[in-house]
Structures are given as C-alpha cells and as structure tokens.
Amino acid sequence: MVKSALLSEDGEITITDLDEPELESGSVLVTTLFSEVCGTDVHLVHNQLIGVPYPIIPGHVSTGIIEKMNGTVREIDDCVLEIGDVITFLDVHETCNACWYCLVAKETTRCPKRKVYGITYSANDGLLGGWSEKIYLKPGVKILKLPSVEFAKTFIAGGCGLPTAIHAIQRAHIQLGDTVVIQGSGPVGLMCAILAKQSGAFKVILVGGPKQRLNIAREFGITETINIDKLSSKDRLKQILQLTNYRGADVVVEATGVPSAVKEGFDMIRDGGTYVIVGQYTDAGDITINPHLDINKKHLTVKGSWGSDFSHFYLAVNFIKTYHNTYPWAKMISGEYSLDEVPQALQQVMNHSVLKAVISPNK
Amino acid sequence: MVKSALLSEDGEITITDLDEPELESGSVLVTTLFSEVCGTDVHLVHNQLIGVPYPIIPGHVSTGIIEKMNGTVREIDDCVLEIGDVITFLDVHETCNACWYCLVAKETTRCPKRKVYGITYSANDGLLGGWSEKIYLKPGVKILKLPSVEFAKTFIAGGCGLPTAIHAIQRAHIQLGDTVVIQGSGPVGLMCAILAKQSGAFKVILVGGPKQRLNIAREFGITETINIDKLSSKDRLKQILQLTNYRGADVVVEATGVPSAVKEGFDMIRDGGTYVIVGQYTDAGDITINPHLDINKKHLTVKGSWGSDFSHFYLAVNFIKTYHNTYPWAKMISGEYSLDEVPQALQQVMNHSVLKAVISPNK
Amino acid sequence: MVKSALLSEDGEITITDLDEPELESGSVLVTTLFSEVCGTDVHLVHNQLIGVPYPIIPGHVSTGIIEKMNGTVREIDDCVLEIGDVITFLDVHETCNACWYCLVAKETTRCPKRKVYGITYSANDGLLGGWSEKIYLKPGVKILKLPSVEFAKTFIAGGCGLPTAIHAIQRAHIQLGDTVVIQGSGPVGLMCAILAKQSGAFKVILVGGPKQRLNIAREFGITETINIDKLSSKDRLKQILQLTNYRGADVVVEATGVPSAVKEGFDMIRDGGTYVIVGQYTDAGDITINPHLDINKKHLTVKGSWGSDFSHFYLAVNFIKTYHNTYPWAKMISGEYSLDEVPQALQQVMNHSVLKAVISPNK
Amino acid sequence: MVKSALLSEDGEITITDLDEPELESGSVLVTTLFSEVCGTDVHLVHNQLIGVPYPIIPGHVSTGIIEKMNGTVREIDDCVLEIGDVITFLDVHETCNACWYCLVAKETTRCPKRKVYGITYSANDGLLGGWSEKIYLKPGVKILKLPSVEFAKTFIAGGCGLPTAIHAIQRAHIQLGDTVVIQGSGPVGLMCAILAKQSGAFKVILVGGPKQRLNIAREFGITETINIDKLSSKDRLKQILQLTNYRGADVVVEATGVPSAVKEGFDMIRDGGTYVIVGQYTDAGDITINPHLDINKKHLTVKGSWGSDFSHFYLAVNFIKTYHNTYPWAKMISGEYSLDEVPQALQQVMNHSVLKAVISPNK
C-alpha cells in the first residue's frame, strides 16, 4: 500500500493508503524524494481552479528515485533510465502533438488535452501527484535525470517557480543593459529576479515583502529591494523613478497574484517598455486601466505568460545543474514536512510565514 | 500675404492673412496643394490634446509645390530639390538625435523635443501647418518628392492614417496565414486592413460602420466586414468566433478611439495572439479588464503604437507610388474644401458623414 | 494488387504490383489522385541523397481519396475523417516529440527520427510513396481535408515547393516595403516570389529562366524578371543595383540548387540585409566567399532553411484554399502522366522542358 | 603646443607638436587621460583600411578631462558638462541622420557620411585622435561622463572591444540556457565571452591563445577554455562536440581576424544555431564553404556585425559603471605607455606579447 495525501473539494487533507499500481509498458514507479508546496496548491485548497477532479493527490513538481519500470524507458536524447536513478519529471502530460495549438501555433501550454500531475488528475486515476510515497509515471511522461539526491533537493528549491519564471523571462525579451523591476518576492518573483540578472539586466529591483523574503533575495544577489510593507504605492513608484533616471524601467514583471499590482506596474514602465504578467494565475478580480495613458501613448508591450512546457523544464534542470553552487538554494526552503504534516505545511505557506515548504513523504 | 486658417483654443476657425516669411538658410517655401482634415484635428478643435500653443494653423499631413528655397536643399539619398517639385514632408520635426529615446531606445516618437507641424507649433511661429496657402519648411524638415500632382492627391487619400497604420501593422508582427481583425473603419482602420492583407494575413475582418465606409472597404478588397450598427457587441464576437474556427483571431488591431472597443477586442483574440492598440490617441476614459482572464491565462501580447517616424513616412510614400493604380484611392476622399470652407469640412468629419475631407487652400 | 512505380539505386523505374496492406488501427488507405514530380525526385534518380533505402516508391507530396480506414481517424482540430474525403497528408512522419530538437530547440525538421514518404521509406516497408495507385497512411500521419478534387490538383500545383517556400519566406522576415530578389524560377522560386509579395514586399525581382518560366511568373503577378539566359552574372547584378537605388535588395532568397548562385546572391544584397538559402538541397559543390566583404562588413544576415513541418503544410493548404481563384495555378502544371509514363515525366523535369510534372496513377 | 603621435601611410610614428585649436561654438577641448592601442591600429600601421587620410593621430577610444568648452555642452539627458569632468566620447561622428541608412534602415553604422576619430580624420584636420596630449571634440560629438579617473582607466580596459562585443552579442540573440563558443581570446573575444555569460548562456567556451590570455579569461570567470596552441583544429572540434552533447554550440561568435577560423566555426555550431562573425574587420583572404552542408542543411543563421553606434557606447559605459568591482579589469591592461613609447606599445600588441596596451599622453 502507498501512503498518500488526498485533497478534497472542500479543502480537507486526508491521509489514505492507496494500491500500488500495475505498470503499463513504458511506465515507471518512483519513490518520492521531495515534492513542493506551491502557491497553486493554495489555490487548489480554496477550489479556485476550474475543472479539478477532486479528490486529487497534490504535488506537481516532485523528485524521486526510480523503483520499477516496465520495459526500457528513456530520458531525452535516448539515454536509457535505470532503477535507482534520481529523477524529476515534467508535470504536464498528454499534450496531444496533433492539434492546432500544438502544431501550428506551437503553444503547447494552450493544448486542450493537456493534463497536469497533482492538479488535473484525480486520485481515482492513480498515484498521479507528488504528496505520496510513490508516484506513477505514465508512459510518455518526460523524465530527466538529476546528478544526486542533493540536486533533487535544490531542484525543489527552484520548484514550479523556476520553469514558470524561465517562461516569463523569455517572454520579457530582456536586452543587455536593461533595468528590470520584479513585482512580488514569492518563489516566482525571486526566480524572475535572478533570471533577469542572468539574462543581461544591469539593474534588477525587487518590489515585495515581508522583510525576510527580501533578505533572502539579497543573498541571491538582488541588491535593490523595495519593501511594500514600508512604502506606499505612491512612494514605491517614486523610488522606481529615482532609480531609473525618471523614465521608468525597461521591463517590469508582475509575479504577485494581486490585481492591483498590475495597475501599479503600468506606472513603473518607461515609454516603449515591456510588461510581463505572470502572477495572475487565478481570477482575483478586475482592474481599471486607461488604454490611452497606460498602453497607447506609452507605446507599451504587455505580455501574459501562461504555464510552461518541456523546454522550460529542461532549462530549469540545466539551470540547477549549472548554478548549484552559485546560489544559497537551501535558503529557499523554510521547512521539510512529512505527509502527516501536510496541513501545517499548507498553513504556513498560506500565512506567508515560510518562503517554501517541501513535502518528504518517505522521511 | 498668405491666407491661412487659424484654430483658437475654444475651437473657432478664423481666416487670417499672415506675412510671408524670410527664408533661413536650408529652408523651403511651399505652395500648398492638399492638406488633410484628420481625426486629430477634431481633437484639436475640442482642445483634447495637452500643451497645444493655440492659435495654430492645423494640417499636419500636406503636399505642395516648391516655390522658393534658400540654398541647396536635399531629399533623402542626397537628391537635390528644385523649384516646382511636387513634395510632401514629415510633419514631425526637431527630434533631437541626442537624447536617450533617440539614441539608446531608438524610439524617436518618444523624444521630448519632438514637434509636429499643424499641432505643436503656434501660428505665431510662422506658416507651420497645412491649412494655409503656403507652408514654411524649416531647415532640416524631411522632404520627399512625389511624381506628380495626381500622386500628391493620392498621398493625401492615404494621409496621416497611412504612416500611423504602417507603424501599427509593424508592431502587429503579422505572420503568413494569420487571421486579422481590424476594429474601426475610419482612415486608420481602413489602412490597417489593407496593410494587414499585404503583410501576409490570409483573412482580414473589418469591424466598423457606417455601411458606406464598409462598402468602400470592400472596394479596397476587404471582403469580410461586420457592421457595428447592425450587430450587438455579443453578436459581433459570435461572428468573429465563427470565422476563426472558434479560437479567435491571431491578431486584432484597435483603431476606433472608443475605450469600450478595447475591452471588446480582448475577447476577439485567440490564446497566444496579439492585440495592437493604435486608436486611443486621446484620453477618452477608462476600461475594466481582468488581468487573469484577459492577459495572463490567454498568454496574450498587447502593444500600444504611438505616432510615426521618418521610416513610416518613407514607406507611406513608397506605398502610394507602388500601389497608386491598385486601389481606388479617390474613394477615400469624400470632398475637397477651400480655406473658407474649413468649418464645413470639420463639421462633416465630426459627424462621420464623410470618410475624409481635404483642404485645397489655393483652389 | 496495387500498381506502383519503384525507383532503384541506379535510377531505374520499374512498374510493379504490390500487395494491398492490412490496415493497422488508426491507419488509412488512400486512392491516389495526384502525386508530384519534384526536384528532389531528380536527386533521388541520381542517388544524391544519403541513406535512401532503395527501392523506394517516390512521390512525397500527394493527394488522394480515402478508401478505407481502421477505426476513427481525425484531422487536426478533431474533425473525424470519412471514406470518400479528398485529402492530402504531411509527407514527414515519425518526428519523435521526445528529443532535444523536437522539444527544446523546437526544430522538428532536425529530429533524427524523422522519416519522409517517398524518400526515406523503402518500398519493402509498404505503399509509402505517391507514385502508386494507393498510398498507405500509417497511424499518426497528419492528414488535412481538401474541398474537392479540383483543389487537390491546385494543391499539387503548389506541391512541395509551397511549404518549402513558406518556411523560407518565414525565415526571411520580410518587412513591409522591402525589395526582395528571388534567385531561381523553378517551383520553389516561383512560390517564394508570390509569397514575398504577399508578405509585404513592395518590389519582387525574379532572376531565372528559361523565358517560358518567367512568362508564367508574370501571370502570377511577378512583373520584374531577369532572364539568366540573356544577361551575364555581371549584368544581372548591374540591373539589380539599378532597381534598388544602388543599395542592393533588402532580402535575397536563393532557390536555384546551383552553388555559384550563392556567391552571386551575396552581391545582390544591401548592407544590413538578409540572405535565405533554400535551394542547396544536395551537395553540388563548394563556393569561395570573403568573410570580411561578404558578411562582416556588410553586416549581413544569412539563413539556411531546411525542410518543413506541419505548420508549413497547414499554411500551404490554407494558402491554396484562400488563393485558389487568385492565381492561374493550372499554368504551373505542364503535364499529367500515368505510372507508365513516369520515365518521360522525369526526363522532362530533368531537362527543364516542363515547370512541373504530375503523376496520376489511377488516370 | 600639443604633443601628438602621428602615423604615416608607410607605418611610421612621428611625435609632433601641433597647434592648440580655437574652439568653435559647442566644442570641447579635453586633456587626454588614456587612449587605447586597438587591433585596428595595427591594421592602420599596415595600411589595410581603405581611404584613411594619412597622416592621422590614432587612438579612437579615449578618455580625458574637460579643459575648455565654448558655450554650454551637454551629455545625454541634458546634463550640462563642466570643466574638470572626466569623460569619454563616441569616436563615431557625423552620421548624418538624414540618409536612408540612418532613417529607414536604422543602421547608422552604414551611414556613408560616418567619420571616426583616430581613423578617418586626418591630423591636418586637427586633434582628432587620442594619441595626443589633447583631443578636440567637435560640436555634436557624443560625450558621456565617467565617475572618476579610476573608472576612465577601467573603461579603456574594456576599450573598443567592449562596444564591439556588445553589438556582436546583441546580434547573437543569446537565449537563456545557450551554450556559446567564442573563437578568439583578444579584447573583443574576451568581452564577448563575458557578455555571453551575462546574457543568459549557461556554458561559454573560449577558443584561443596563448595560455596567458586564457588564464586572464579564467580570472574573468570563463572557466571552459580551449588552447589553440595545444589542440589541432580537428581536436578542438572534437572537444566542442564532447562539451555540447555531440550537437555543437547554440551560438558561435568569431572574433579572430583569421579567415580559416570562420570555416572552423561553421563546424562547431549545432543545426539551427547561430554564427556571428565580428572579427573579420579587414580583408584577410577568402574561404571555401559548402552552401549545402554548412548553411542550408544545418538550417543555420549567420550574421555579420559591423561597428557600433551610440547605444553600444552608452551600454559600454553603463557596463563599466555596473561591473567595475565585479571583474579584475586591471588584468586586461598589460602596460601603460607615454607618447614617446608608442612604437614599443605597437610592437608588443603586434607580437601578442600583451593583451592590451594603453597610451597615457600626459603621464
């Protein structure tokens, strides 16, 4: 039997023993190492996503050790996987490679058949989420090897926020020398700040809070921070203008989840600049904008960034491999929790008392 | 003395005789052929732009015949201009080629020193607008030759809307095979529709009115039109979806001036598509949008397009030269007016009873 | 039994009766309508491609009528196909959607598992080429419906050259107002010329021969042509410079197959312009270039364009649907040939006495 | 009198006293701090550039202290300059802002009127080069302030190679996660390597020599180096393939000046990758390429990168300001030389015994 944490429609967590599945040809059974508690999981607790087949096993970004396989299974570039390999996998599955979005627009994040581990699979369909002792990787799930258990933990420190931020920063088209403002100091915002710096920005300004998160950001090399608990919206804007020669930033990336931040962000951008909106993952309300002043006269470019695909996941793994020793990754993880401690983990993420909680189902 | 139409702050037109200027070295005096009545002129009558030094001589897009020059004056590519040449000129002047926007961002439309004939020059500064028998071209004004008086008239048929639309369509990055919706059937919208077709769109849908304008659009080859006088916002959207395989258009260009059109436009775009906002030239009010549904989840790209520079003006002249015989340009011009008839011309543009009015000061 | 034309390694065509295959689940059997004789087939006759599993059934771009299916088979966007549908299909198959080129670089034309009907499948593997009464479409082959047999013929008039040219023109990033030179007046060159015009070029100059091909080009609206049989390389260049204000073209597309044309093309491009090389499909020899004069000092962009993927094929079908009545497509096809006449068809393509030959195996 | 080093057509250096100029309105006289000995100066000694008006005062990238001004002179963003300010200036002058290349193509590096201090101005025209006690900045020369004399020296450590590399790296369109090979470990190559890393590359491989230069590169954080003195062309390629999963690099930048390196570079790039050629500043001979294998089948993008404009210069100054303490800039400068020591400085640059020599005319 496999111990798993199930989330119900009304936000309850139940620890349940589920059957170990029979392995289809091409499938893999993984012993879970670490699985993330992501902001999305908070939305799932509050039933804010559409079409979620509760009960589910949450945990979409996870790492583990291969325990069993049926047949030969390969990583990208045809490397054969073996029992005992430390791996992670792309939570997104079943993009069809046959529809208009997959093949013509080449935007697989908008494929209507797309499924996501830990979010759009039901617990009734199997061990398809990371808050469980074992995870069942269906045939065709995209797997990548990690060098060691230590890297597996670092990868979870990056977590869902890393590929999400990679996609957002790609959309931002940062140019050498740009000044970039990141709104939001959660996992996505912090990763965006680091990646903006790595993508050619000469100055990165992180607007967020609370203070502890900004302190962590500084340890990741983000020296310019603005604490929203200390400065009003008006004063934040004033400071941004002072830091940008009174023009505004070349690029602003929104990673807050708060609609009012979007309106505030428009004012932080220079004429002809770019605004990427990645934090509005659920419908948290409307905003009022002035299409003349905010967009047309400013000659602005505004881009939404939705989800991520294999390329972002692949880059995330490579990023961790390359910069494993560069950044203090351990600072990202505020606590490790067993399956029985999932409710506490969720609670602490919800009240922002931790930056990131990690579930270790076999600890 | 030079007869000119002056516009005052309270929207009054007065016909006045002004002195003929002395020519500085490098300047040109032009006998006006045709000058446009543009939507901007309606905004000027209503005092909706900021910092206009009334009284002004309106008329920013104009053509004329060179009457006098002081010294050798050259067109682009060093061609020497001569008395009697039929010409047009870029209304934008004095972009400084020395500031951050000119030299680093390379967005001269945002240069703070930029001045515009017929808009930001006062009548007290000279004959710096087209609704006048003569126009004074200051040293350095960018001049382009036209093949004949007939082409000068065709160029005014394109008018200010043509370079504005060229800039907007460049911003739209239309790809071969795209379906494009244009919102608005005024001069900018109609030019956008033609240029979208010429830029690789397989299907162009023009949403506008009244019926006569849509009929003209059809004579320019825009076969798909939706009449806003006949279909409600909801039904317009329904029809767009039917015409786009229920995905929405790849690109939507807003060219209406009406804020509510912007909100409507968001719904017409497919996930991952592009929205260009070019019609919100003045502040006509706010709109409410949902940053999750309208931008983030849709993975949208929204771009403002402001003004135009020499490259757009140059392309506009080349467009007219190349497609002079392809399109029924004369249909664009609903009437020609003398200086004394300026008030009627303005009246008819304001009540949309004409598509475009042209001032012929020396007729 | 199914009558098919087999091509051997030494270039011999043999008409053979092959068994009709059993249909796997998801597969389709098609009665061939038209299959193209493409320049690639000439290379196949001369054994100029690497790794071709002779004997093969040539014919990679083909149309047909669905005769049989095993199970429900769908077109893109989930439309269910039916017996009697007129269809075409993407010759490229088995791109793996699992390797680095498919998923990270998103360049499926470089997927190492990619197979192509009529080229990289052996006749021993089945009816996997179009010069046969029937074609077997393996499960997963990408199929698109055509409105009628008439459209099927028009689609073959576009043929392999159309998606190839779509890819090349996408690579060219043609801007509104560009002057574009196309080198080569075969099917790819002619399609490139039309598409360049449709993509915003104001002037398209086709350099090729013989005279009959240039005449056909003119019927497709390409008014500027330079006949290589009449003008020397030096004089061709002179004429290009005269037509481009002595700067050279903004974009040049090579579609000749002749290495020396590449060297000639470099001289036709303006400083800062773009050169797309699409015609060097096989190794026909080296060229000498000067990296200082030809590339570095010219600030040139040179792009190779290899193959095509589903998006190009999809656009090709839509292009034919949209512009079926706009162009004199029938002029592209110089002759229709039965399977027994394949050697004559090949002969006439080889000596350039026809623009395009079509095989009609069931005529 | 102003002591200056003059270079004659036959490569002789003569130290001469020239008159101090009268200052036109808007001009500035600068006391030289540091001026670079650049690879271009070696080409000038060997008379390898076309149209150089010998004798010239070499030294195109220079810094100094403002000694005199005629009237108010401004930096970008309207900051007024003052006597005693430490400054540098853009060597490129007189781009016309009136021709097709300046205004339509927006490629001012191809403006036919462009002049360059230290290269295309004659010593007969005045103090228009940096190997002189004083430099005369004509009206309109673009000046930027530096924080101190120390920064002036760091700026010269970056030198001409920094804006040149900025332009090349912009052309390279480096994506997050790319593997980049830089061919050449001179000043341009080293700057390219650093900037590639700063622009999102996860892996940067520097191919060059001799050993001391590669050691300096390692101190700048470029850990992967290949020594051309130790490995044959074949073995270098082998190593690149091993480091790139046998695909080749995503981007290769040529910064060698040696034509054969271009041919070698083609083999180092993955299919679908990008090659930027920036090192072929003079005509050093032809190369043989295979357009099928090297470009078409590889689906390659090859770009020349010529010169630099104000934006690159501005970014270079900002780069130095931002990363002044990050890199060991002093290691770039192997020696400081007086005007009398110019011949030795040139000699040591020519025989590659130093990485960079700096002239301090007032030392």
A104 to C76: CB separation less than 8 angstroms, yes or no: yes
Angle between helices B149-158 and B310-323 (to 10 degrees): 120
A307: left (phi over 0), alpha (psi -120 to 50) or beta: left
Give the H or E element holding residue C244. Answer: none
Q: Does the pLDDT value for residue C18 go beyond 90? A: yes
pLDDT category, A41, cuts 50, 70, 90? very high
Considering chain A, what is the average pLDDT of its residues? 96
pLDDT category, A22, cuts 50, 70, 90? very high
Phi, then psi, of A22 in degrees rounded to 5: -75, 145
Answer for the pair A85, A28: CB distance below 8 angstroms, yes or no.
no
Q: Does the pLDDT value for residue C353 go beyond 90? A: no
pLDDT digits (tens, 9 = 90+) for B191-211: 999 999 999 999 999 999 999
Same domain, A256 and A121: no
pLDDT category, A174, cuts 50, 70, 90? very high
> Which CATH number goes with the domain that contains C260?
3.40.50.720
Same domain, B124 and B169: no
> Which CATH number goes with the domain that contains C84?
3.90.180.10
B301 to A303: CB separation less than 8 angstroms, yes or no: yes
> What is the structure's pLDDT at D363?
84
Query: Positive or negative, the Cα torsion across C136, C139, C141, C144?
Result: positive
Phi, then psi, of B222 in degrees rounded to 5: -90, 95
> What is the structure's pLDDT at C78?
79
Sequence-distant (6+) residues with CB within 8 A of A154 are A320, A324, A329
B302 to A302: CB separation less than 8 angstroms, yes or no: yes
Domain boundary among C288, C304, C320: C304
Same domain, C141 and C205: no
Same domain, B188 and B244: yes
Angle, CA of A297, A303 and A309, to the nearest 5°? 170
A104 to C310: CB separation less than 8 angstroms, yes or no: yes
Considering chain D, what is the average pLDDT of its residues? 96
On the 0-12 / 13-18 / 19+ scale of CB atoms within 10 A, D173 is: middle
Q: B317 to chain C: which residues are within 8 Å by CB?
A: none
C324 located within any domain: no
pLDDT category, B363, cuts 50, 70, 90? confident
Phi, then psi, of B109 in degrees rounded to 5: -70, -10
| DSSP designation for D131 | S
B310 located within any domain: no
What chain A residue is nearest to B298 in terms of C-alpha separation? Answer: A304
Same domain, A135 and A178: no
Same domain, D128 and D261: no
Region A126-132 average pLDDT: 98
Answer for the pair B319, B162: CB distance below 8 angstroms, yes or no.
yes
Answer for the pair B160, B36: CB distance below 8 angstroms, yes or no.
yes
D170 to A177: CB separation less than 8 angstroms, yes or no: no
Give the H or E element holding residue C35. Answer: strand C28-37
Q: What CA–CA distances, in Å, run from B234 to B213, B231, B264, C201?
A: 22, 8, 9, 37
Phi, then psi, of D243 in degrees rounded to 5: -80, -5
Regarding an ipTM greater than 0.90, the answer is yes
Q: What CA–CA distances, in Å, run from D224 to D205, D218, D219, D243, D248?
A: 5, 8, 12, 9, 15
Under DSSP, is residue C61 helix (H, G, I), strand (E, B) or coil?
A: coil
Same domain, D338 and D262: no
Rounded CA gap, D55 and D12, in Å?
9
Domain boundary among B304, B320, B347: B304
Phi, then psi, of D185 in degrees rounded to 5: -120, 25
A313 located within any domain: no
Same domain, B20 and B137: yes
pLDDT digits (tens, 9 = 90+) for D339-359: 999 999 999 999 888 889 999
Rounded CA gap, B328 and B331, in Å?
6
> What is the structure's pLDDT at D354?
85
Region B348-361 average pLDDT: 91
Rounded CA gap, A273 and A178, in Å?
10
A288 located within any domain: yes
Residue C133, domain extent:
2-145+333-359
Q: Does the pLDDT value for residue D216 go beyond 90? A: yes
Same domain, C111 and C10: yes
A296 to B302: CB separation less than 8 angstroms, yes or no: no
pLDDT digits (tens, 9 = 90+) for C283-309: 999 999 999 999 999 999 999 999 999
CB atoms within 10 A of CB B263: 17
Same domain, A105 and A194: no
Rounded CA gap, A216 and A195, in Å?
15
Strands (DSSP E) along D41-191, which ranges?
Answer: 62-69, 86-89, 92-93, 115-116, 134-137, 143-145, 179-183
A56 located within any domain: yes
Q: Which stretches within C279-353 are classed as H helix?
A: 310-323, 342-350
C106 located within any domain: yes
C280 to D292: CB separation less than 8 angstroms, yes or no: yes
Q: Which among D72, D73, D76 is the top mutation candidate for probing chain B, defined by the most B β-carbons within 10 Å of its own β-carbon?
A: D76
Chain D nearest C-alpha distance from C245 (Å): 10
Nearest by CB: D301 against C262, C283, C303 = C303
Rounded CA gap, B308 and B295, in Å?
26
Rounded CA gap, B71 and B93, in Å?
20
What chain C residue is nearest to D288 in terms of C-alpha separation? Answer: C288
| Residues linked to residue B16 through DSSP beta bridges, in sequence order | B4
**In chain D, how many domains are there?**
2
pLDDT digits (tens, 9 = 90+) for A70-81: 999 999 877 999
C205 located within any domain: yes
Chain B nearest C-alpha distance from C224 (Å): 13
D166 to A175: CB separation less than 8 angstroms, yes or no: no
Rounded CA gap, D160 and D40, in Å?
9
CA atoms within 13 A on the CB side of C19: 6
pLDDT digits (tens, 9 = 90+) for A307-355: 999 999 999 999 999 999 999 999 999 889 999 999 999 999 998 888 8
pLDDT digits (tens, 9 = 90+) for C205-242: 999 999 999 999 999 999 999 999 999 999 999 999 99
Give the H or E element holding residue B181. Answer: strand B179-183
Sequence-distant (6+) residues with CB within 8 A of B17 are B1, B2, B3, B4
> What is the structure's pLDDT at B352?
84
Q: B76 to chain C: which residues are within 8 Å by CB?
A: none
Cα dihedral value C53, C59, C65, C67, nearest 10:
-20
Rounded CA gap, C267 and A18, in Å?
71
Sequence-distant (6+) residues with CB within 8 A of B299 are A107, A109, A110, A303, A304, A305, A306, B271, B272
Give the H or E element holding residue B42. Answer: helix B39-45
Rounded CA gap, D66 and D141, in Å?
13
Give the global pTM: 0.97
Give the H or E element holding residue D207. Answer: strand D203-208
Chain A nearest C-alpha distance from B304 (Å): 4
Give the pairing type, strands A357-359 and A28-37: antiparallel
Same domain, D12 and D125: yes
| Interface residues on B facing A, Cβ-Cβ cutoff 8 A | 100-101, 105, 107, 109-110, 245, 247, 254, 259, 262, 270-272, 277-293, 295-306
C322 located within any domain: no
Residue labelled with tokens 């051309």? D228
Q: Does the pLDDT value for residue B353 go beyond 90? A: no
> What is the structure's pLDDT at A77?
79
Sequence-distant (6+) residues with CB within 8 A of C252 are C180, C181, C182, C183, C265, C268, C269, C273, C274, C275, C276
Angle, CA of D331, D335 and D336, to the nearest 5°? 120
Spatial CA neighbour of B5 closest among B301, B343, B261: B343
Same domain, C176 and C286: yes
Single-letter amino acid code for the residue at D352: H
Q: Does the pLDDT value for residue A65 go beyond 90? A: yes
Q: Does the pLDDT value for residue D97 go beyond 90? A: yes
pLDDT category, D77, cuts 50, 70, 90? confident
Q: A163 to chain C: which residues are within 8 Å by CB?
A: none
> What is the structure's pLDDT at A363?
84
Q: Which among A302, A305, A308 is the top mutation candidate for probing chain B, defined by the most B β-carbons within 10 Å of its own β-carbon?
A: A302
Question: For chain D, what percent of residues have pLDDT higher than 90?
Answer: 97
Q: How many CB pairs under 8 A join B and C?
A: 41
